[in-house]
């Protein structure tokens, strides 16, 4: 056991018994959960709530709802390595099975919000930067695949992408995503927001490459000429 959240439950379960612990929950899986919201909510934060609380309650009652002038567009229900769900799932029950049925995961339970004024490409780029940088460097798909993904996203975001770049991103998602391709779960986690984002925000990607300036290259010497 190496998860502090799990660990911190132990003394309470020992003190109060399993019945008590199960009774805390709003669903079949017992206990409470540390839920969180980040992004353009009024009061981003971490909240301990019965497991199985809905995102509606977490976002609107605990985090005070979206900031004024922003609408929820999509969200990662359980942190950076879970797949995007659209705003239509805004009231989803945050237990284990429901997000999975919807195509994502409960993950850490710390939802990340995408609002209607933030570029989804920028958000994914930011996530992939994190994953590329946090790769331990052991296995190839993660160590060398993710930095490429990040650079493709930068190019598209900065208006220098090409339709082939989107193809490359789909390739990476397809080839790195499934479990077993890499040594640990870091890289599949990195692919979850990318793969779902490519689908959900396909139009944004198309729009960015269609208005990009073809022929420009990355800063530095290498680029297309090499």
Partner 1 sequence: MAKIVIDGREVEARTDVNLLQACLEAGKDLPYFCWHPELGSVGACRQCAVKQYANADDKRGRIVMACMTPVTEGAIFSVDDPEAKEFRGEVVEWLMTNHPHDCPVCEEGGECHLQDMTVMTGHRERRYRFDKRTHNNQELGPFVKHEMNRCISCYRCVRFYRDYAGGEDLGVFSAHNNVYFGRHESGTLESPYSGNLIEVCPTGVFTDKPFSKMYSRKWDMRGAPSVCSNCATGCNTIINERAGKVRRTLNRYNDEVNRYFLCDRGRFGHGWVNAPTRLRSAGYVINGDMTPVPAQAALDHFGKIAATGKLVGIGSPRASLESNYALRKLVGAENFSTGMAEPEHSLVKLAVSLLGSSPARIATMHEMETSDGALILGEDVSATSPRMSLALRQIKRTAFNKAADQARVPHWMDASVRTLGQDTVSPLFVVSPTVTDLDGFAQDAIRAMPENAARLGFAIAHRIDSSAPDASDLTEAETASASRIAEALLAAEKPLLVSGLQYASAALLQATANIASALAAKGKTPLVSFVLPEGNSMGLALMGGLSLDEIVSRSADATLIVLENDLSRRLDTVRFNTLIDNAANLVVLDHSVTPTAIRSQVTFPSAAYTETDGTLISAEGRAQRFFQVVYPDAPLQAAWRWIADMAQAAGRSHVKPWAKLDDLIAEIATIMPVFARIPEAAPASDYTLEGVPLRSQTHRVSGRTAIRANISVRDIPPPASPDTPLHSTMEGSYSTDMPGTLVPFYQVPGWNSEQSLNRFQQEIGGKMRGGDCGVRLVEGVANAAASYAMDVPSAFVPRVGQFMLLPEARVFGTDEMSMMAQPIADRAAPAVVRIGGAVAKGSQVRLSLNGEVFTVDAVSDPTLPEGVATCPPHMVSRSWSAPGWVSLEMTAPAERVETESAV
Site for ligand SF4 in 118-157 (CB under 6 A): 135-139, 142-143
CB closer to ligand SF4 out of 146 and 200: 146
d(CA 191, CA 175): 10
d(CA 106, CA 102): 11
Q: Which of 162, 164, 192 is nearest to 176 (CA)?
A: 192
Residue 218 touching partner 1 (CB under 8 A) = yes
Output the smallest distance, CB 195 to partner 1, in A: 16
Among 7, 171, 185, 206, binds partner 1 (CB under 8 A): 171
Choose among ligand SF4, partner 1, none what residue 132 binds, the Cβ cut-off being 5 to 8 Å by kind: partner 1
Residues, the chain, total? 226
Number of chain positions touching partner 1 (CB under 8 A): 35
Sign of CA dihedral 102, 107, 113, 118: negative
Output the smallest distance, CB 221 to partner 1, in A: 7
Helix axes 202-210, 186-200, angle to 10 degrees: 80
Angle at 210 between CA 190 and CA 174, to 5 degrees: 30
Among 28, 46, 175, 202, binds partner 1 (CB under 8 A): 175
d(CA 46, CA 176): 31
Query: Which residues in this chain contact ligand SF4 in the complex, by CB under 6 A?
Result: 135-139, 142-143, 182-184, 186-187
Query: Which residues in this chain contact partner 1 in the complex, by CB under 8 A?
Result: 132-141, 143-145, 147-148, 151, 155, 164, 168, 171, 175, 178, 180-183, 217-224, 226
């Amino acid at each position: 056991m190496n998860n502090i959240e799990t660990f911190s439950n132990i003394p309470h379960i020992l003190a109060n018994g399993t019945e008590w612990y199960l009774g805390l929950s709003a669903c079949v899986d017992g206990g409470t959960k540390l839920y969180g919201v980040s992004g353009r909510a009024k009061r981003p934060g971490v909240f301990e709530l019965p497991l199985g609380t809905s995102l509606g309650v977490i976002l609107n009652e605990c985090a005070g709802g979206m900031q004024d002038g922003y609408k929820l567009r999509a969200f990662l229900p359980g942190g950076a390595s879970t797949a995007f769900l659209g705003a239509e799932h805004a009231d989803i029950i945050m237990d284990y099975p429901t997000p999975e049925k919807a195509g994502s995961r409960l993950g850490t339970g710390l939802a990340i919000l995408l609002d209607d004024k933030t570029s989804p490409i920028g958000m994914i780029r930011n996530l992939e930067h994190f994953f590329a940088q946090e790769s331990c460097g052991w296995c190839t798909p993660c160590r060398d695949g993710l930095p490429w993904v990040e650079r493709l996203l930068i190019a598209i975001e900065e208006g220098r992408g090409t339709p082939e770049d989107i193809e490359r991103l789909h390739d990476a998602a397809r080839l790195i995503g499934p479990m077993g391709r890499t040594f640990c779960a870091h890289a599949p986690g990195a692919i979850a927001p990318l793969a779902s984002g490519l689908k959900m925000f396909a139009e944004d990607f198309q729009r960015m490459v269609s208005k990009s300036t073809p022929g420009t290259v990355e800063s530095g010497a290498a680029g297309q000429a090499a």
